[in-house]
């Protein structure tokens, strides 16, 4: 049935996700115009404009919905208010809450804003009160009462010296508050519906207000009276004054009088002359009817924001889309989709599958560029789009909808722009499924709730001029089933058509001949409706999925059931072939995607993809990735893990080679800090040890090592501590380990060290091996002192006798030991010295990254060190007793031969050794405890 040499897929990894980030509510843009802040339930998401990615997200601990938020004018502080009546101040770049306090409001906060100095915060509550907060000194400065109902708008006058605050509530008036006296100076009455926004002139003496009563009012703030009322014939949600001293002649602005821009329920941006109350410019949007009901217009605008630095406008639509326009031409720059509702179908699109086209629970199609998440919204259908399919070349696709029509769309290969090139309307009910021809773009097939299947011929040339598009007529219509047709599929050779219906059957049709549809056979066996049908790309078999929770494989020869795949707990909504027809992918109402191997009839992998029905499932043309879309509004792109692993491994090898070469160059140039940081990033203890050894070979190595290690980041120091535990198990590398430990333990506070991951176990692991190394050095020190003593007592034949009397014994050791002697620890015996010597010799051929030979049989590093600490303590205590006995014996023999003066000097030497600094062992024990 398949190529036996083909490698089966075993798993898929998530490559990227397109998730909802804005579900309505306030939107604000940072002053530097790099980020968009918007609410999404209990979170405030921060969207980076350049990349379209969510880079930060803040959320209240109680997961209560955020009712309002405000970003300070200096972009430093973010304050949020939740239904739990809590105000929280955030360091939004770190997603950390700086402080929180209870709002004095008795009901949730509906609006808030900062003043131009970023020191005062005003909050308007649903209780009709306004509070002002000093966010620097952290106390409430004003409590303004007098508004009736919810205070849905608060805004400071841009001139902070005036100390004025404007607010509006359900009484539709605009209240002007004097913050010096905490009194309402006046109420500006003009609107008869909710006031939605305010905009101030540069000199601060003129203000324009907008309302849902379809008017805008120009106010003289000096006289506190209305100068002009401008009827705009639509509910206005946002108003922005047109910048002064800029040329807007191309949009009809011919005078220097005051002009303003409005955004409202009709979704069209308009420019108005305040002096004449005339509209001088109106945006032209295709497929938008002026007679369309404002409430049903998906392009209706809810916010209008001005970006003065880049001369742009940002608008928010009723469908939670955020659009950026460039002034003065009002050309669309970027578009972000905040919320997509249920995803009903999704397909790869474009060259190398660079885009995806998505059908959501709306009449608009969305085309996402996977690299930047930028989106095109395609208008054309007038009701919910139900299904999609893409032609072989990937730049042409078809859609069908509840509006009983089918449409064909084409993507421009250069610009990426998509336009509708053909449409057809002949069904008498909603069209639920569509399939494109596979060989060339010659026809499409559709299945409808009217129980019919239609085949539509496409013109040879689909190019269009202007707004004209080709009108399609069906070449064949067939009453195919007794109930709704849920799915249709065209065979790879364009000669067969399969249909699946709610009547529990699938049927096979012939497309060859004079254009008529001929029935070839019926597939019976499902206990419930058939949701999807799919032809194998290589074999004469058909796959069907059903609401009975099964997927079946059928023979096209005798229409018999070859295999049944059971595993989903609910309806199986989609099925596709992958791995050249040797495997199946299925998605279901249980939110799962399953990978099946046909030959063994087993489920290889279950992907917990979504939280709701997975309606959309499509594999790429290269068979290396797939995309899924769900009723939970999420779209996920998956990569074949085998492909990912191969690519990552190759990239990793190339990166390792480049980094090793770079490391060699840094060491040659004596840039030790960069070299050490690069070595740690490679996560190779041996490479890091090489850099440490290089540092310790230069002049004044101790000071250089200290400066280098202390300049590392916290995570790099944490890795260095972990490597020291490994190095310390080998006598050959212990001095390098101890040199680094001396820097870490003497220059870093204990609180910081204990914050490192696994710090306690690492420090405990250092103790037993450090004790062993110290005992070895102690034994060498004893031996060197004994040899020195013997050398001093030796007499050369014929030497004058006065020589021995005048000479003082030199008790300085022959070599300065690296380790200091712990005065509380007994010195090791000769047996221990021999044991350590063997360990050192054995370590000559050892890998410096590996622990000592006596611990090689243990796998876990932490357990090895703990075990070593326990067992060696018992053995060494025994040996310590023996060592003390030998020491006393030697001391007695020496005291019989030495004179009083030499005995006193030896005693002074011992006392000096007791005053040596605290050892690394004691430091480790202190930190570990």
Series of mean pLDDT values for 10-residue runs along the chain (929 residues): 64 88 93 93 91 88 88 94 91 89 91 95 94 92 92 94 94 94 94 94 94 95 93 94 86 88 94 92 67 63 93 92 91 89 93 92 91 88 95 92 95 88 94 94 94 93 74 93 96 95 96 81 96 95 96 95 94 95 94 93 89 93 91 91 65 73 83 86 84 88 87 86 86 88 86 79 83 87 84 64 46 44 42 40 40 39 34 38 38 39 44 43 52
Buried b (16+ CB within 10 A) or exposed e, 189-217: ebbeebbbbbbbbeeeebbbbbbbbbbbb
Kindly compute the dihedral angle of the four CA atoms of residues 353, 359, 365, 367, in this order, to the nearest 10 degrees. Answer: -20
Whether a cis peptide bond, with omega within 30° of 0, leads into 612 is no
**DSSP 8-class letter at 65:** P
Sign of CA dihedral 883, 885, 887, 893: negative
Spatial distance between the Cα atoms of 827 and 779, rounded to a whole number of angstroms: 7
Q: Are 544 and 500 in contact (CB under 8 A)?
A: yes
Q: Are 8 and 577 in contact (CB under 8 A)?
A: no
CB atoms within 10 A of CB 310: 12
| CA dist list (Å): 2 to 493, 539, 580, 583 | 18, 8, 7, 10
177 beta partners: 165, 184
CB atoms within 10 A of CB 653: 10
Tell me how far the alpha carbon of residue 659 is from its chain's centroid: 27
Question: CB-based burial of residue 857 (10 Å sphere; 0-12 exposed, 13-18 middle, 19+ buried)?
Answer: exposed
Kindly compute the dihedral angle of the four CA atoms of residues 678, 683, 684, 690, in this order, to the nearest 10 degrees. Answer: 30
Spatial distance between the Cα atoms of 577 and 561, rounded to a whole number of angstroms: 17
Tell me how far the alpha carbon of residue 4 is from its chain's centroid: 39
pLDDT score, position 295: 58
Cite the beta strand spans of 194-277 per DSSP E: 195-200, 206-211, 215-220, 225-231, 236-241, 259-264, 270-273
Q: Which of 632, 541, 644, 620 is nearest to 592 (CA)?
A: 632
Q: Which of 213, 149, 201, 153 is nearest to 177 (CA)?
A: 153
Spatial distance between the Cα atoms of 670 and 452, rounded to a whole number of angstroms: 78
Show the tokens assigned to 466: 């202007």
Whether a cis peptide bond, with omega within 30° of 0, leads into 376 is no
Residue keyed to tokens 């907060």? 133
pLDDT score, position 376: 92
Spatial distance between the Cα atoms of 304 and 314, rounded to a whole number of angstroms: 6
Spatial distance between the Cα atoms of 20 and 38, rounded to a whole number of angstroms: 11
Q: Are 346 and 57 in contact (CB under 8 A)?
A: no
Q: Are 544 and 575 in contact (CB under 8 A)?
A: yes
* Ramachandran category for residue 633: left, alpha or beta (phi over 0 → left; psi -120 to 50 → alpha): left
Q: Are 308 and 319 in contact (CB under 8 A)?
A: no
* Ramachandran category for residue 88: left, alpha or beta (phi over 0 → left; psi -120 to 50 → alpha): beta
What is the SS3 string spanning 722-739? HHHHHHCCCCCCHHHHHH
Count of residues in the chain: 929
Spatial distance between the Cα atoms of 197 and 460, rounded to a whole number of angstroms: 52
Show the tokens assigned to 798: 């014929």
Q: Which of 568, 604, 605 is nearest to 589 (CA)?
A: 568
Q: Are 552 and 544 in contact (CB under 8 A)?
A: yes
Spatial distance between the Cα atoms of 550 and 556, rounded to a whole number of angstroms: 19
What is the SS3 string spanning 825-844? CCCCCHHHHHHHHHHHHHHH
DSSP class per residue in 362-387: SS-EEEEETTT--EEEE---SS-EEE
Question: Residue 770: helix, strand or coil by DSSP?
Answer: helix
Q: Are strands 625-630 and 259-264 parallel, antiparallel or unpaired?
A: unpaired
381 beta partners: none
Spatial distance between the Cα atoms of 208 and 288, rounded to a whole number of angstroms: 28
**DSSP 8-class letter at 917:** P
Show the tokens assigned to 815: 């070599």
Residue keyed to tokens 């249909």? 499
C-alpha angle 158/163/165, rounded to 5°? 70
Sheet bearing 550-555, strands edge to edge: 530-535, 541-546, 550-555, 561-566
142's CB contacts (< 8 A; 6+ apart) are: 130, 131, 132, 179, 182
Sheet bearing 278-282, strands edge to edge: 236-241, 259-264, 270-273, 278-282
Residue keyed to tokens 């360990």? 839
Helix (H) or strand (E) holding 306: strand 301-307
Q: Are 88 and 80 in contact (CB under 8 A)?
A: yes
Residue keyed to tokens 């009083």? 900
CB atoms within 10 A of CB 291: 4
Sign of CA dihedral 57, 58, 63, 65: negative
Show the tokens assigned to 431: 């069209």
Q: Are 285 and 269 in contact (CB under 8 A)?
A: no
Show the tokens assigned to 639: 């990569």
């Amino acid at each position: 049935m398949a190529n036996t040499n083909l490698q089966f897929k075993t798993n898929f990894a998530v490559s990227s996700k397109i998730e909802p980030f804005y579900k309505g509510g306030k939107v604000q843009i940072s002053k530097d115009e790099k980020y968009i802040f918007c609410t999404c339930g209990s979170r405030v998401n921060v969207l980076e404009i350049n990349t379209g990615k969510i880079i930060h997200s803040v959320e209240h601990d109680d997961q209560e919905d955020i009712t309002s938020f405000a970003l300070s004018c200096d972009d430093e502080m973010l304050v949020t208010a939740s239904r739990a009546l809590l105000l929280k101040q955030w360091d939004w770049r770190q997603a950390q809450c700086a402080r929180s306090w209870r709002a004095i409001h008795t009901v949730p906060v509906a609006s808030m804003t900062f003043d131009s100095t970023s020191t005062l915060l005003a909050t308007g509550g649903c209780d009709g009160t306004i509070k002002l907060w000093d966010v620097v000194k952290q106390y409430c400065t004003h409590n303004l009462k007098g508004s009736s109902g919810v205070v849905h708008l608060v805004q400071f006058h841009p001139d902070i010296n005036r100390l004025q605050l404007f607010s509006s509530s359900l009484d539709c008036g605009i209240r002007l508050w004097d913050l010096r006296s905490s009194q309402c100076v006046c109420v500006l009455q003009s609107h008869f519906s909710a006031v939605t926004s305010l905009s101030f002139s540069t000199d601060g003496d003129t203000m324009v207000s907008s309302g849902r009563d379809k008017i805008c009012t120009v106010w003289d703030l000096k006289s506190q009276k209305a100068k002009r009322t401008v009827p705009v014939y639509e509910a206005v949600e946002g108003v922005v004054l047109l910048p002064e001293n800029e040329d807007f002649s191309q949009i009809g602005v011919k005078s220097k009088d005051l002009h303003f821009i409005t955004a409202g329920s009709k979704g069209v941006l308009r420019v108005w002359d305040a002096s004449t109350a005339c509209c001088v410019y109106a945006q032209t949007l295709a497929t938008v009817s002026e007679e369309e009901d404002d409430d049903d217009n998906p392009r209706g605008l809810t916010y209008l924001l001005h970006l003065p630095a880049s001369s742009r406008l940002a608008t928010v639509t009723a469908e939670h889309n955020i659009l950026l326009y460039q002034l003065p031409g009002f050309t669309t720059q970027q578009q972000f989709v905040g919320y997509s509702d249920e995803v009903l179908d999704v397909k790869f699109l474009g060259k190398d599958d660079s885009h995806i086209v998505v059908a959501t629970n709306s009449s608009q199609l969305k085309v996402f560029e996977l690299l930047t998440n930028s989106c095109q919204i395609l208008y054309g259908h007038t009701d919910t789009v139900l299904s999609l399919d893409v032609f072989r070349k990937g730049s042409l696709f078809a859609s069908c909808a509840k509006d009983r029509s089918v449409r064909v769309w084409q993507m421009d290969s250069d610009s990426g722009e998509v336009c509708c090139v053909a449409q057809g309307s002949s069904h008498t009910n909603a069209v639920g499924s569509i399939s494109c021809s596979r060989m060339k773009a010659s026809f499409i097939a559709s299945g409808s709730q009217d129980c019919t299947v239609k085949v539509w011929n496409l013109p040879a040339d689909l190019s269009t001029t202007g707004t004209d598009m080709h009108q399609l007529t069906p070449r064949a219509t067939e009453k195919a089933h007794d109930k709704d047709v849920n799915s249709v599929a065209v065979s790879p050779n364009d000669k067969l058509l399969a249909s699946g219906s709610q009547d529990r059957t699938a049927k096979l049709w012939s497309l060859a001949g004079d254009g008529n549809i001929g029935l070839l056979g019926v597939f019976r066996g499902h206990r419930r409706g058939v949701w999807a049908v799919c032809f194998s790309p290589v074999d004469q078999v058909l796959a069907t999925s059903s609401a009975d929770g099964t997927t079946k494989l059928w023979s096209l020869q005798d229409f018999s059931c070859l295999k049944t795949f059971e595993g989903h707990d609910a309806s199986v909504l989609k099925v596709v072939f992958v791995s050249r027809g040797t495997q199946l992918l299925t998605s279901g109402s249980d939110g799962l995607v399953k990978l099946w191997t046909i030959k063994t009839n087993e489920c290889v992998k279950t992907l917990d993809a979504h939280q709701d029905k997975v309606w959309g499932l499509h594999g790429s043309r290269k068979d290396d990735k797939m995309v899924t879309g769900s009723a939970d509004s999420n779209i996920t792109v998956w990569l074949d893990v085998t492909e990912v692993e191969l690519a990552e491994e190759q990239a990793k090898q190339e990166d390792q080679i480049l980094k090793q070469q770079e490391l060699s160059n840094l060491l040659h140039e004596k840039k030790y800090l960069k070299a050490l940081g690069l070595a740690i990033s490679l996560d190779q203890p041996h490479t890091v040890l090489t850099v440490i050894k290089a540092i310790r070979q230069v002049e004044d190595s101790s000071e250089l090592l200290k400066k280098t290690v202390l300049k590392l980041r916290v995570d790099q120091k944490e890795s260095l501590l972990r490597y020291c535990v490994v190095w310390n198990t080998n006598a050959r590398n212990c001095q390098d380990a101890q040199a680094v430990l001396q820097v870490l333990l003497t220059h870093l506070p204990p609180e910081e060290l204990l914050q490192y991951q696994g710090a306690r176990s690492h420090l405990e692991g250092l103790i037993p091996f450090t004790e062993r190394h110290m005992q070895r050095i102690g034994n060498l020190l004893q031996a060197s002192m004994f040899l020195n003593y013997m050398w001093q007592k030796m007499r050369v034949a014929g030497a004058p006798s006065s020589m021995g009397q005048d000479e003082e014994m030199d008790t300085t050791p022959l070599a300065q030991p690296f380790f200091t002697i712990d005065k509380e620890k007994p010195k090791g015996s000769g047996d221990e010295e021999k044991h350590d010597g063997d360990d050192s010799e054995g370590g000559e051929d050892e890998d410096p990254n590996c622990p000592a030979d006596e611990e090689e049989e243990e796998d876990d590093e932490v357990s090895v060190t703990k075990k070593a600490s326990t067992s060696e303590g018992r053995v060494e205590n025994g040996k310590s007793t023996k060592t003390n006995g030998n020491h006393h014996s030697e001391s007695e023999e020496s005291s019989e031969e030495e004179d009083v003066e030499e005995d006193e000097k030896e005693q002074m030497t011992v006392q000096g050794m007791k005053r040596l600094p605290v050892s690394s062992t004691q430091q480790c024990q202190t930190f570990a405890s």
